[in-house]
Amino acid sequence: MANQVEKLNTIAIADIEKVITLTDANIEKINTLEFAGAVPVEVSLTANAVDSGSATAYTFSSQALGAAADDRIIVVGGFSTNAVQTVSSVTIGGVSATQVVAATNSGGEQCALWQAAVPSGTTGDIVWTWSGAEVGMGIGVWRIIGATASAHASSGVTGASALSSTLDIPENGVAIAYSGSASSSRTATWSGLSEVFDANGIEDGSASGNHTGASNAFDSAQTGLTIQMTLSGAPIRNPVLTMASWGPA
């Protein structure tokens, strides 16, 4: 009888060990699956600036880029009020950038978003070169971490004082919008995204020409999110709006 009890105890202990081993393995698998999901993309405005002089190449020196990171993407929005000219090139911290989206209205004002992978440095020069002389321009600078190398979606629109478009944004993704106009001393109001800056004084050092930006991170996917920028007062001269979204890498 004692031998049978001992055998039963041995079997029970062995079974318990198996259960413990399986449980530990399952916990490890569960944890691995739980943390294998996409890490949310981060976005933050790091700088905005205006150069009211006339130039073909504008150098915005030592602009803040935020903390360095291997997967850091810097997005720059640029706007100028002069007609005809096109963007020849953009460099960010010495790295050649690529255009994400651009829009030009009937008056010639052009607004665009450009991006580059810039893993090192907390500041850097942003050099924006046009095909010919401009009469002042503004920029907005954003830092993105954990995103795919290319934008998920983009849009550019022109028109009246209230500009809007729709944008798809992936789950755990981010969106950036940048707008400019030749209007004097105007204030922007945003919906769909949170405003991060609003400034005037782009053209010839006067109040003529304003630019503004907005951005947000999203936990859940957004399909056809309406993003609108509205300028106050009148007259409103030739506003342009560009926007783009990025998903997790």
pLDDT in tens, 33-67: 344 468 999 999 999 999 988 899 999 999 999 99
Which 3 state secondary structure label does DSSP give 26?
helix
Q: At residue 186, what are phi and psi to the nearest 5 degrees?
A: -105, 155
Q: How far is CA 16 from the centre of its chain?
A: 53
Share of the chain above pLDDT 90, in %: 63
Which 3 state secondary structure label does DSSP give 192?
coil
Predicted local confidence at residue 171, as pLDDT: 98
The amino acid sitting at 40 is: P
Instruction: Retrieve residue 47's tokens.
Output: 């700088």
104-129 pLDDT per residue, tens: 987 778 899 999 999 999 999 999 99
**pLDDT confidence tier of residue 161, bands split at 50, 70 and 90:** confident
pLDDT at 211 over 50: yes
Burial class (CB in 10 A: 0-12, 13-18, 19+), 194: exposed
12-32 pLDDT per residue, tens: 445 434 433 444 444 444 343
pLDDT: is 26 or 202 the higher one?
Answer: 202
Calculate mean pLDDT across residues 91-95: 98
Residues 6+ apart with CB under 8 A from 52: 136, 201, 202, 203, 204, 205, 206
Q: Specify the pTM.
A: 0.84
